């Protein structure tokens, strides 16, 4: 199962803690956001292109993707949503969904009512800042995806995707070594990377022959990360997982003061 947990037990907390070390109270707030979980099977449409925008979600287990379905039936997967990812907390600012969200494996989600998001961001500015950080990080991944599709060949694309998925899962404490559960079909991979399933297959054959990976029974293992990174032409920390820059320390300090003030006025909200 892809779902699961790291030390904190909560992938949302684990993810955002890469950016700020939260207080016990803040952690409580984030954990409360993940209450009210719902389960979905694989292949379920959580949101459809053209729908009016919905409340936000946090993925707590499983795997889903954002994708765009083309008129001719082809599709393009835009990003994968793994545990700890929340999505569309602010999407209600847009008129409608410009893409669909579909589960790939069995998935658990917590729904987050709109007003709660704005309330929390107002009352716990450090959490609000973490939301911005996460949005910046997601943009960074989208930009990286553009580079992948625009300037990497098929081998580079696959290598890059695998490295990214492994790193992201390590970042939320799901994986320890260089192996992850990968419930993607070769067609899913192809639709992510702008290739065909046939060609993805041939690339995978090549990687196996060269001893770079094994991929059996939905389990992916990277044997030679260094070489894969070279193939992908990877920039080291594009996921910005190293945490907050020293620079933002001052900003967070300021937030802390503001937060303390607002906490006096309001009792705990949950």
Partner DNA sequence: CGAGGAATTGAGTAGGTTCAAGGCCGGTGG
Partner DNA sequence: CCACCGGCCTTGAACCTACTCAATTCCTCG
Binding positions for a copy of itself, rule: CB under 8 A = 19, 52-53, 66, 68, 70-71, 74-76, 78, 90-96, 98-99, 114-115, 118, 122, 129, 132-133, 135-140, 142-147, 149-151, 191-194, 233, 235, 237-238, 240, 242-245, 247-248, 251, 254, 258
Q: Do 156 and 232 contact (CB within 8 A), yes or no?
A: yes
The binder of 206, among a copy of itself, DNA, none, by C-beta within 5 to 8 A per type, is none
Residue 205 binding result from DNA, a copy of itself, none, given CB thresholds of 5 to 8 Å by partner type: DNA
User: 164: closest CA among 245, 102, 232, 243?
Assistant: 232
**Which of the residues 175 through 194 are near DNA (CB under 7 A)?**
185-187, 194
Confirm or reject binding of residue 202 to DNA (CB under 7 A). Answer: yes
Rounded Cα distance between 112 and 58, Å, is: 7
Q: For residue 47, give the nearest of 16, 2, 84, 78 by alpha carbon.
A: 78
CA pair distance 227, 207, nearest whole angstrom: 10
Please enumerate in sequence order all residues whose Cβ is within 8 A of that of 262, keeping only pairs 6 or more positions apart, or say none. Answer: 122, 123
Binding of DNA by 147 (CB under 7 A): no
Which of DNA, a copy of itself, none interacts with 71 (beta carbon under 5 to 8 A by kind)? a copy of itself
Residue 117, helix vs strand vs coil: helix
Asked if residue 45 binds DNA (CB under 7 A), the reply is no
Q: How many CB atoms lie within 10 A of CB 14?
A: 20
185 binds, among DNA, a copy of itself, none (CB under 5 to 8 A by kind): DNA
CB-CB contact of 87 with 101 (8 Å): yes
Q: How far is the CB of 5 from a copy of itself (least distance, A)?
A: 25
Quote the strand ranges of 120-258, DSSP E. Answer: 179-181, 213-216, 219-222
Residue 196 binds which entry of DNA, a copy of itself, none, CB below 5-8 Å type-dependent: DNA
CB 219 to a copy of itself: min, Å:
26
The region of 30-38, 114-122, 127-135, 196-204 touching DNA under the rule CB under 7 A is 196-204
How far is 231 from 227, CA to CA, in rounded Å?
6
Q: Which does 198 bind (CB under 5 to 8 A by kind): DNA, a copy of itself, none?
A: DNA
User: What is residue 94's DSSP assignment?
Assistant: S
Residue ranges that bind DNA, judged by CB under 7 A: 153-155, 185-187, 194-199, 201-202, 204-205, 217
């Amino acid at each position: 199962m892809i779902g699961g947990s790291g030390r904190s037990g909560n992938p949302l907390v684990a993810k955002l803690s890469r950016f700020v070390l939260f207080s016990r109270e803040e952690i409580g707030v984030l954990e409360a956001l993940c209450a009210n979980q719902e389960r979905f099977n694989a292949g379920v449409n959580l949101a459809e292109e053209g729908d009016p925008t919905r409340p936000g979600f946090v993925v707590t287990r499983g795997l889903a993707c954002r994708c765009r379905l083309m008129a001719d039936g082809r599709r393009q997967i835009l990003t994968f949503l793994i545990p700890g990812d929340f999505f569309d907390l602010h999407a209600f600012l847009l008129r409608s969904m410009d893409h669909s969200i579909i589960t790939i494996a069995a998935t658990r989600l917590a729904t987050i009512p709109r007003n709660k998001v704005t309330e929390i961001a107002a009352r716990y500015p450090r959490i609000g800042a973490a939301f911005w950080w996460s949005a910046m990080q997601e943009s960074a991944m989208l930009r990286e995806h553009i580079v992948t599709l625009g300037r990497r060949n098929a081998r580079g694309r696959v290598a890059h995707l695998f490295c990214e998925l492994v790193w992201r899962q390590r970042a939320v404490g799901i994986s320890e070594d260089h192996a992850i559960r990968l419930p993607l079909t070769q067609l899913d991979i192809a639709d992510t990377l702008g290739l065909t399933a046939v060609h993805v297959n041939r690339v995978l054959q090549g990687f196996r022959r060269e001893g770079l990976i094994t991929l059996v029974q939905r389990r992916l293992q990277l044997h030679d990360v260094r070489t894969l990174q070279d193939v992908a032409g990877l920039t080291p920390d594009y996921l910005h997982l190293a945490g907050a820059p020293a620079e933002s320390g001052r900003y967070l300090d300021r937030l802390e003061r503001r937060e303390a003030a607002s906490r006096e006025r309001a009792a705990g909200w949950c």
